[in-house]
């Protein structure tokens, strides 16, 4: 009998081999029960008691998360607490109970359905996934109303791989995580709170594995490969041995990477490279510090907006977040990108209208200029936060700069707001380093001119590739045309790096290419010295750089720039780098 094989999205790396335990979430049956009008207030009171009981449970979950994972992860349950106490959720439920004279279960079900529909309509994946938090809180309220006690997973006896259609944070935090080898989930995404919890604990996770529960019911053994998004049910003995060997190899490699954590990121012939962290959430800072990064090369501040949306956090709230971020980096410089909203990130919610092609529309710096109050609030917060630290520790970067005028206008605005804050009695620096994202081809073509204006540059390869090649990176129909090795892209990148070097202006890269093992040696050869990436990628890239010769990488780069086709570039790099990649056990 051939093993059943499924695929999904690996969102927390690792390999697990073991017995599957299947947990399917059975929706609580909800009926519409008409009530006498005289009982409406009694029903509202019953609903309020259920909410109080749910909040008590959320507080317990929060305390347990704080003990297991730390305060940053306990904040997930603070969000649940806010949902459970939110009048925009509670009041409509009470109103429906009173006006329609129906049972609380039905009212909760209907109000939550409307909220979920609104979340699902959002174009941004991170915010759309927040519907899972609403559903988690709602299911706890329903269980309290109905006196339903869900199946408990706390009593797992041995190491298992949990296969589930869904796994809420309130369930995940109660698991005996020392007995869970991995998660296979039919739903979820890379930014769901359950994924964040698992990633923090180093548990491999695959999401989007449709059909996993059905297959799990009929299987005794399971292989989970979250590196490649593969799930194998009832593998043959030889295949299981192969994956056990891979898992052990990965664990050994992780131990070896720990050994180079404190070593400098320098090539064999002495060329020093700075590895920086891309940060979305403050929960990622500890890992960045652990891997000894030189600073934060990109803090995506729009995640602050998306966590609080639809209400923009005020100046004081933002200042506090930026202060905490910089403090936690212990003296290392932090580059904060101003809100890069629009495009496919809350396009309709922020711009107030639908755009036919939002990626080419009102996004990035364009959106900020169109909403001056929105933009000035953030800039004031950044200037205030920068004033709390030594000069240069906080750097501000503007996204999607398409022309020199845009950067100059943004710089003038910062100068005016700095003077305003000083007049108001705040301690601020005379200036703070201001940089431009180079992600629009026009700025790569004018690299010399933007380097004359900006204090630093950062190449955003994700957008630079899609704009240069006219390819929507999220469109599966043209995904094969999204080519980092395209010679046109590489020549633009080389031009930006050279322009910075000629003028003594720092150039970093913060797109996915900065952590691509095949591209890093080429970028080192082109002269790039600053690489910003997901903290999890730092140890492998450090090990890879330490295997390189800058002289050889530079020679390879010169030959690469003479090639004319993406396939030629890829084959040439694979041939030249085979030995270096093998030494650090990197598969490409």
The angle subtended at Cα 147 by Cα 144 and Cα 152, nearest 5°, is 90
Note the pLDDT of residue 380: 98
- Supply 214's token pair: 């059905």
pLDDT range class, residue 235, cuts 50, 70, 90:
very high
The CATH number of whichever domain residue 47 belongs to comes to 1.10.274.10
pLDDT range class, residue 453, cuts 50, 70, 90:
very high
- Boundary (domain end) residue, out of 209, 238, 256: 256
Question: Given a cut of 90, is residue 216 above it in pLDDT?
Answer: yes
* Winning range, highest mean pLDDT, from 49-58, 139-148, 156-165: 49-58
Question: Given a cut of 50, is residue 349 above it in pLDDT?
Answer: no
- Supply 388's token pair: 């709390």
Distance CA 14, CA 188 (A): 18
Question: Given a cut of 90, is residue 524 above it in pLDDT?
Answer: yes
Element (H, E) at 162: strand 160-164
pLDDT range class, residue 345, cuts 50, 70, 90:
very low
Note the pLDDT of residue 461: 94
Among 4, 94, 213, 510, the active-site one is: 510
Q: What three-state secondary structure class fits 353?
A: coil
Residue 31 counted as domain residue: no
Question: Given a cut of 60, is residue 527 above it in pLDDT?
Answer: yes
Note the pLDDT of residue 344: 45
User: Nearest Cα to 437, choosing from 398, 470, 469?
Assistant: 398
Looking at the chain, the whole-number percentage of residues with pLDDT higher than 90 is 58
Among 352-356, 364-368, 469-473, 575-579, which is the least confidently predicted range? 352-356
pLDDT range class, residue 400, cuts 50, 70, 90:
very high
43 in the same domain as 191: no
Task: Give a three-class secondary structure readout of 76-139.
Answer: HHHHHHHHHCCHHHHHHHHHHHHHHCECHHHHHHHHHHHHHHHHHCCCCHHHHCCHHHHHHHHH
- Supply 297's token pair: 């090369």
566 in the same domain as 455: yes
Note the pLDDT of residue 343: 44
Note the pLDDT of residue 150: 55
The count of C-alpha atoms lying within 13 angstroms of the C-alpha of 240, restricted to the half-sphere facing its C-beta, is: 12
Residue 588 counted as domain residue: no
CB atoms within 10 A of CB 435: 23
Distance CA 458, CA 470 (A): 21
CB atoms within 10 A of CB 251: 12
473 in the same domain as 438: yes
Question: Given a cut of 50, is residue 350 above it in pLDDT?
Answer: no
User: Nearest Cα to 84, choosing from 103, 66, 59?
Assistant: 59
Residue 96 counted as domain residue: yes
Q: How far apart are the first and last CA of the chain?
A: 31
357 in the same domain as 469: yes
What sign has the CA pseudo-torsion 234, 238, 240, 246?
A: negative
Question: Given a cut of 70, is residue 148 above it in pLDDT?
Answer: no
Looking at the chain, the whole-number percentage of residues with pLDDT higher than 70 is 88
The CATH number of whichever domain residue 199 belongs to comes to 3.50.30.10
User: Nearest Cα to 279, choosing from 291, 268, 270, 267?
Assistant: 291
- Domain span at 227: 4-26+153-256
pLDDT range class, residue 501, cuts 50, 70, 90:
very high
572 in the same domain as 522: yes
pLDDT range class, residue 214, cuts 50, 70, 90:
very high
The DSSP code sequence of 392-427 is TSEEEEESS--SHHHHHHHHHHHHHHHHHHHHTT--
| Higher pLDDT pick, 385 / 125 | 385
Q: Are strands 222-225 and 230-233 parallel, antiparallel or unpaired?
A: antiparallel
Q: What three-state secondary structure class fits 578?
A: helix
- Boundary (domain end) residue, out of 146, 176, 195: 146
424 in the same domain as 310: yes
* Winning range, highest mean pLDDT, from 156-160, 255-259, 350-354, 395-399: 395-399
Question: Given a cut of 50, is residue 378 above it in pLDDT?
Answer: yes
The CATH number of whichever domain residue 556 belongs to comes to 3.20.20.60
25-74: pLDDT as tens digits: 766 678 899 999 999 999 999 999 999 999 998 998 888 877 766 665 67
192 in the same domain as 210: yes
Residue listed under structure tokens 């003038």: 412
Which residues have C-beta within 8 Å of that of residue 374, sequence separation ≥ 6? 312, 339, 368
404 in the same domain as 349: yes
- Boundary (domain end) residue, out of 84, 111, 146: 146
> For the residues 403-414, what does the mean pLDDT come to?
97
274 in the same domain as 247: no
Note the pLDDT of residue 310: 45
Catalytic residue flag (residue 510)? yes
219 in the same domain as 107: no
Which residues have C-beta within 8 Å of that of residue 462, sequence separation ≥ 6? 439, 473, 511, 512
314 in the same domain as 239: no
pTM score over 0.85: no
Burial 27-56 (b: 16+ CB within 10 A, else e): ebebeeeebeeeebeebbebbeebbeebbe
What sign has the CA pseudo-torsion 111, 115, 120, 126?
A: negative
Distance CA 397, CA 92 (A): 42
Note the pLDDT of residue 3: 84
User: Nearest Cα to 382, choosing from 466, 313, 463?
Assistant: 313
Distance CA 384, CA 341 (A): 22
The count of C-alpha atoms lying within 13 angstroms of the C-alpha of 434, restricted to the half-sphere facing its C-beta, is: 23
Among 80, 94, 193, 213, the active-site one is: 193
236-285: pLDDT as tens digits: 999 999 999 999 988 888 888 888 888 999 999 999 999 999 998 787 89
Catalytic residue flag (residue 217)? no
For residues 524 and 550, is the Cβ–Cβ distance under 8 A? yes
Element (H, E) at 20: strand 15-23
In total, how many domains does the chain have? 3
Q: What's the chain's average pLDDT?
A: 87
Distance CA 180, CA 186 (A): 17
Q: What three-state secondary structure class fits 187?
A: coil
Residue 159 counted as domain residue: yes
Note the pLDDT of residue 147: 76
Number of separate helices (H) and strands (E) present in the chain: 25, 16
């Amino acid at each position: 009998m051939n093993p059943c094989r499924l695929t999904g999205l690996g969102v927390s790396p690792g390999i697990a081999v073991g017995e599957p335990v299947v947990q399917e979430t059975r929706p609580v049956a909800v009926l519409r029960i008409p009530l006498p009008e005289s009982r409406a207030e009694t029903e509202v009171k019953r609903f309020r008691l259920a909410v109080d009981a749910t909040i008590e449970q959320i507080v317990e979950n929060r305390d347990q998360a704080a003990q297991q994972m730390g305060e940053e992860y306990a904040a997930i349950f603070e969000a649940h607490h806010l949902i459970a106490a939110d009048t925009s959720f509670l009041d409509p439920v009470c109103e429906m109970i009173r006006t329609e004279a129906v049972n609380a279960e039905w009212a909760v079900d209907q109000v939550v359905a409307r909220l979920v529909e609104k979340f699902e309509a959002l174009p941004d994946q991170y915010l759309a996934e927040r519907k899972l938090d609403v559903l988690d809180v709602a299911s706890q309220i329903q269980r309290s109303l109905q006196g339903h006690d869900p199946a408990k997973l706390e009593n797992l006896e041995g190491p298992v791989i949990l296969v589930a259609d869904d796994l809420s944070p309130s369930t995940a935090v109660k698991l005996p995580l020392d007995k869970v080898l991995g998660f296979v989930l039919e739903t979820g995404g890379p930014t769901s709170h359950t994924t964040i919890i698992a990633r923090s604990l180093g548990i491999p996770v695959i999401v989007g594995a449709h059909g996993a529960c059905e297959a799990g019911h009929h299987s005794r053994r399971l292989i989970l490969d979250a590196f490649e998004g593969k799930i194998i049910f009832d593998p043959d003995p030889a295949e299981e041995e192969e994956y056990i060997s891979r898992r052990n190899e990965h664990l050994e490699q992780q131990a070896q990477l720990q050994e180079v954590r404190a070593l400098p990121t320098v090539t064999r012939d002495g060329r020093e490279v700075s590895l920086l962290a891309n940060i979305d959430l403050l929960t990622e800072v500890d890992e960045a510090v652990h891997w000894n990064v030189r600073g934060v090369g990109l803090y995506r501040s729009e995640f602050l907006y998306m966590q609080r949306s639809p209400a923009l956090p005020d100046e004081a709230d933002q200042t506090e977040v930026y202060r905490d971020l910089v403090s936690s980096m212990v003296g290392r410089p932090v580059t904060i990108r101003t809100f890069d909203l629009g495009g496919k990130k809350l396009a309709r919610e922020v711009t107030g209208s639908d755009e036919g092609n939002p990626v080419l529309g009102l996004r990035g710096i364009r959106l900020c200029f169109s909403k001056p109050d929105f933009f000035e609030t953030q800039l004031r917060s950044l200037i205030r936060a920068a004033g709390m630290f030594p000069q240069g520790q906080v750097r501000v970067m503007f996204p999607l700069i398409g022309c020199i005028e845009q950067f100059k206008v943004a710089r003038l605005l910062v100068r005016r707001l700095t003077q305003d804050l000083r007049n108001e009695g705040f301690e601020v620096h005379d200036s703070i380093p201001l940089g431009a994202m180079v992600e629009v081809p026009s700025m790569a073509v004018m690299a010399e001119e933007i380097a004359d204006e900006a204090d630093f540059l950062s190449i955003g390869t994700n957008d630079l590739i899609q704009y240069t090649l006219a390819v929507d990176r999220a469109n599966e129909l043209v995904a094969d045309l999204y080519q980092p090795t395209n010679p046109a892209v590489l020549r633009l990148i080389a031009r930006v790096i050279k322009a910075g070097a000629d003028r003594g202006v720092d150039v970093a890269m913060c797109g996915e290419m900065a952590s691509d093992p095949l591209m890093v040696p080429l970028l080192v050869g082109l002269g790039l010295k600053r690489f910003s990436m997901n903290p999890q990628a730092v140890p492998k890239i450090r090990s890879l750089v330490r295997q390189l010769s800058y002289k050889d990488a530079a020679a390879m780069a010169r030959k690469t720039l003479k090639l004319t086709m993406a396939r030629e570039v890829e084959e040439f790099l694979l041939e030249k780098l085979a030995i270096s990649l093998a030494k650090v056990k990197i598969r490409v």
